[in-house]
Every structure is written in C-alpha cells, then in structure tokens.
Amino acid sequence: MKSGSDAALAGVEDRIGHTFVRRDLIRTALTHASVASSARDSYQRFEFLGDRVLGLVITEMLLEMYPKATEGELSHRLAELVRKETCAEVATTLDLGSGVAFGGGRAQKMSLLTINVLGDVCEAVIGAIYLDGGLDAARRFIATNWHDRILAWPGAHRNAKVTLQEWAQSKGLRVPDYTIVAKSGPDHEPHFEVEVIVEKRAPARGAGRTRREAEQSAAAALLLREGVWTAEK
C-alpha cells in the first residue's frame, strides 16, 4: 500500500467522526515511515503533537469528572489513560490499522502493525484532527473514545469484578456470568468484547486487550449503571 485511497480515507473519517477539510492531514497521519519520502511525510511529527493534545484534554476531563481526586490519583489516572497501550486499544476499536500505508507487502504490514505503531497512529490522528479542526474537534474525538475508559479504570485498589460479585451476593443474587461476545484483531494484538449478566439486571458490556481486562470493563460498566460506583468514587 503506497498511499491511502480516497475510499479508505473516507472510511477512516466515518469511524473517527471527523471529515477533514484538508485531506492531506489524515493521509499523513496514516503514513508509516517505511513508505514516507521524509520524516515530514510520515505520522511521526503528528504523533508528537497528538500526544500533547491528548494529555491536555484527558487532564481537563479528569479535573471535571473527579473534583475530589487528589493530585496523585489524577496523575495515576492520566498516566494510564494516555499510555501507548490505551491509544492502541482506541486504534484497534476504530480499525485505524487498516488505513495505514506501509512499504512492502501484506506480510510486512502485519509485522509492523504493533501496539507501539497503533498507539502512535492514534496519537497522530489526534494531531491531524487538531490541525484540521482545532482543539474543540480534538476534544470531541477524545471524549467519544476515552470517556468510558475513564469511568471504567479500576485504579490501584478498585477491582470491578470483585466488587460486582460482592454486591450481587449482598443482594442474594447469583454470581455474575461473563461471556465473550466478540473477538477481533490479530493473534498478537487481540481485542475482546465481554458481556456480564447479573440475575434480574440488564447485561452490560466492556472491551479490552485481554479477556480479563474486558471483564473488568464490563463489571465496571454495570456497577456504574446500577449506581454502586460513581464518577467521583
């Protein structure tokens, strides 16, 4: 793949929820160094920008959503939410990898499509959105793709599965049941979607890079919906 086709780029725009005025920006954000003629033609500079924009917007969101949190807790949450693995999860969910231009054939593309690369591409897309639509456009993209992750983050002492089981037992309900409803992505970077069911309650879903992570996310979603946990917790 030498360059992103208009159809492929339009598909990416649909998935990220932003139509570019300057199509060259998203094209650059999806160009790997292996096919770029210079550093300015690959996503690397956009990644640098997007990383800073992501950190700013997540910081804003944390301050608004957790007004009682200490600086230490906010810093811990921020570090988790902007790390490469989290960005790679967002990239996988949005299938950004299918739009990335690499040098070589399919086998080389698959070998290069690592967690680091997916994370870099996600940050580059944020940078491109910022350059095309400004900070408000970047905020919308980040809020859409990080809001639930912020709420579902278990924290150092916040085990959603354990809490959900204890809550269910306190209500006289059966132990929560977890089911994998979808699995996507390559074997080395899978993406799981899990549904949790608690007796007499509507099911809730979560996603993650591992089954355990997806189960934690699903449990957290149900706890938040039932009011057991709140955003301030």
The confidence score (pLDDT) of residue 53 equals 98
> How would residue 57 be classed by pLDDT, with cut points 50, 70 and 90?
very high
CATH of domain 6-152: 1.10.1520.10
Least confident of 29-38, 46-55, 59-68, 170-179: 29-38
Instruction: Report the distance separating Cα 19 and Cα 141, nearest Å.
Output: 12
Specify the higher pLDDT residue, 205 or 105.
Answer: 205
Note the pLDDT of residue 1: 37
Catalytic machinery residues? 51, 123
Write down the pLDDT at residue 80.
86
Give the CB-side neighbour count of residue 181, counting CA atoms within 13 A: 15
Contact 148, 65 (CB under 8 A): no
pLDDT, position 157: 45
What is the rounded CA–CA span in Å between residue 220 and residue 65? 16
With a cut of 60, say whether residue 2 has pLDDT above it: no
Q: What is the pLDDT of residue 138?
A: 98
Q: What letter represents residue 164's amino acid? A: L
Query: Does CATH place domain 160-225 in 3.40.50.2000?
Result: no
Domain spans of the chain? 6-152, 160-225
pLDDT at residue 201 above 90?
yes
Grouping H, G, I as helix, E, B as strand and the rest as coil, residue 116 is helix
